[in-house]
Structure 1
Amino acid sequence: MNDDFQTSWSEPVSMQQGDASTVQRPPVAAPLKQIVTIRLDVDMLKWFKAAGPGYQTRINQILREYMEAQQAERDAAQ
């Protein structure tokens, strides 16, 4: 690093001591989504992609809405 460079902030105490093994990191949360392979009709996938970035999120939202509607139907029938 350039010897002339000085930061305007101080490093955490654990880093100042030079022992990186003492750095406390927050626990890693479990992933909220899971990677899967799904086969979709080509024309349907093209339609989702044509709407721009975020097509996987849109597909997920539509599946979620369907799932919730089915659950509501089931709960109403009970």
Structure 2
Amino acid sequence: MSEDKIEGVAIANLIGTDERSIVGWVYRWNTGALAVRWDIDGPQRVLECRPDLSDAEKREIDFGGLTQIPTLDSWQDQL
């Protein structure tokens, strides 16, 4: 990565609740920050990261919040 511009590299896949679909990626930027990038369907409930992240990395991306994203079924139940 170049230090002249901000660049990121994917360090983990976010796995959906079906236990096999990749619904997003965790990127580490050359600034040291972590960020989540979703697939084309946008934010979805996450089951796990592969490979697993450290506890500090999970806190930085609010992994607990990612596991609580409402599903389409839960939205329909509220209507």
Both structures adopt the same fold (TM-score exceeding 0.5):
no
Q: Normalising by structure 1, what TM-score?
A: 0.24
Q: Normalising by structure 2, what TM-score?
A: 0.23
Structure number having the greater helix percentage: 1
Structure number having the greater strand percentage: 2
